[in-house]
Amino acid sequence: MFGTLAQREEPNGVVPRRRAYWITWAISNPRPSDITTSLPKKKATFSVKFEDMYGFTVEGNIDDVNVLNEVRERVRDQSRVWMDLEASKGAGWYLQTNDGRMSVVSLKLSKLTNTITLKNLVRKGIPPTLRPKVWLAVSGAEKKRSTVPESYYDDLTKATEGKVTPATKQIDHDLPRTFPSHPWLDSPEGQASLRRVLVGYSFRDSDVGYCQGLNYVAALLLLVMKTEEDAFWMLAVLLENVLVSDCYTDNLSGCHVEQRVFKDLLAKKCPRIAAHLEAMKFDVSLVATEWFLCLFAKSLPSETTLRVWDVLFNEGAKVLFHVALAIFKMEEEELLRARQIGEVIDMLQTTTHHQYNPDELLMMRLDLLAAQQFQALLALIVAFEKIGSMTTNTITKERKKQEPAVMAVLDERLKRLNTL
């Protein structure tokens, strides 16, 4: 459906080996003989452009290309693990239910084993060919869709065709600005598909309607799910079940709560950074608002973002805080040397835009990484140990603590507007 995005599968479902990322352009304009598939290990001194797995043109350096090639190999290895499990346990093994032949104790043990196995597998990454099916299952989107008639999405798009609302006007304004460098999303077909998903949801939930940021989320969902209807239901479960409520409403109250929670967590988990930024009068929401509204879709490379979303749909929104804290922690020493707000913003933007290795953010097992990355990741794991684990209950308690203050600020703002 999406041209270059469609991937051929081998009979066993494993993504076939694709050529290494080829360098298509270099600022230094080197001779053809200077560029080979045997990429240099030393730090590159020129920029290159290449296409990632989902059709985005990415600009980076030779080191970025090397990392992406290594990540691609790990994706292939992980695909084999998933396929072996499907062969031994059966398709949809992660949704195993009681078939009447298992004792209650055996059933509980089986479900527990599958839950632990699934959690570990998802954290290492869902193979691209299985991602749509697994996301629909673990997120609850398939279950949500099953509660309405099969024609729900088609009926919704037909009923909303030609209708004009403030939401549709804003959607039309944002469509050309949504990943304009992506060949399919910048095409009439891609923009029409994205529009139907966004307009459809704006009528499904009038409290949310449409909020800037959702265009990037829905666009990436379309690229992964490959059908509008699947993307629509993933967007629905995301806004209605996975994320905090009111995150995308008119006053963004949920988003304001998340920002306060994150600021609190940063002070607890990374006190040196928090104190330094506070002394600089740097508000973390300057960078974190986009992270939480776009779910890192505008900040991280697409393949890294989707690894974060793998965990998001399986474990919930706590992973957003984990990743946000990791980004700050990875740059701790550099941040502590910063003296200007602009320096901090540039530093964090550079870090996120070149974070091609998702394992660095999600702290995967060391044996999955190339030897040359071991020392860098070892330092990162030490950093994560300092951050410590965060449960969903921890995040929920923090949200409840911050909600009254956020609502008080919003109420005061509304009163001031009414007096004008």
Query: Could you tell me which of 310, 142, 133 has the C-alpha nearest to residue 233?
Result: 142
Residue 214: pLDDT band with limits 50, 70, 90: very high
CA distance 381 to 236: 35
Q: Using the structure block, give the residue that is written with the tokens 């957003």.
A: 320
Q: Is the pLDDT of residue 381 over 90?
A: no
Give the pLDDT of residue 112. Answer: 58
Residue 239: pLDDT band with limits 50, 70, 90: very high
Q: Is the pLDDT of residue 365 over 60?
A: no
Structure tokens at 114: 């599958």
- Average pLDDT, stretch 226-242? 96
Look up the pTM and report it: 0.76
Q: For 289-310, how does the pLDDT look when each residue is reduced to its tens digit (9 = 90+)?
A: 999 999 999 999 998 999 999 9
Count Cβ neighbours within 10 Å for each residue of 116-152 and write b for 16 or more, e otherwise: eebeebbbbbbbbbbbbebbbbbbbbbebbeeeeeeb
Give the pLDDT of residue 53. Answer: 83
Average pLDDT over all residues of the chain: 77
Q: Is the pLDDT of residue 376 over 70?
A: no
Q: Using the structure block, give the residue that is written with the tokens 């403030």.
A: 166
Q: Which of 20-34, 276-290, 328-342 has the lowest mean pLDDT?
A: 20-34
Q: Is the pLDDT of residue 13 over 60?
A: no
Q: Is the pLDDT of residue 50 over 90?
A: no
Neighbours of 238 (CB within 10 A): 24
Strands 57-61 vs 47-51: parallel, antiparallel or unpaired: antiparallel
Residue 359: pLDDT band with limits 50, 70, 90: confident
Strand partners, 57: 51
**Who wins on pLDDT, 107 or 392?**
392
- Average pLDDT, stretch 128-138? 93
Q: Is the pLDDT of residue 245 over 70?
A: yes
- Average pLDDT, stretch 393-411? 63
Q: For 81-94, how does the pLDDT look when each residue is reduced to its tens digit (9 = 90+)?
A: 888 888 888 877 77
Decide: 197 and 232 in contact? Cβ < 8 Å: yes
Give the pLDDT of residue 104. Answer: 38
Give the pLDDT of residue 68. Answer: 81
Give the pLDDT of residue 386. Answer: 47
Query: Could you tell me which of 319, 314, 321, 299 has the C-alpha nearest to residue 402?
Result: 321
Domains of the chain and any CATH numbers: 3-129 (no CATH), 152-242 (1.10.8.270), 253-409 (1.10.472.80)
Q: Is the pLDDT of residue 167 over 90?
A: yes
Q: Estimate to the nearest angstrom the gap between the alpha carbon of 219 and the chain centroid.
A: 12
% of the chain surpassing 90 pLDDT:
43
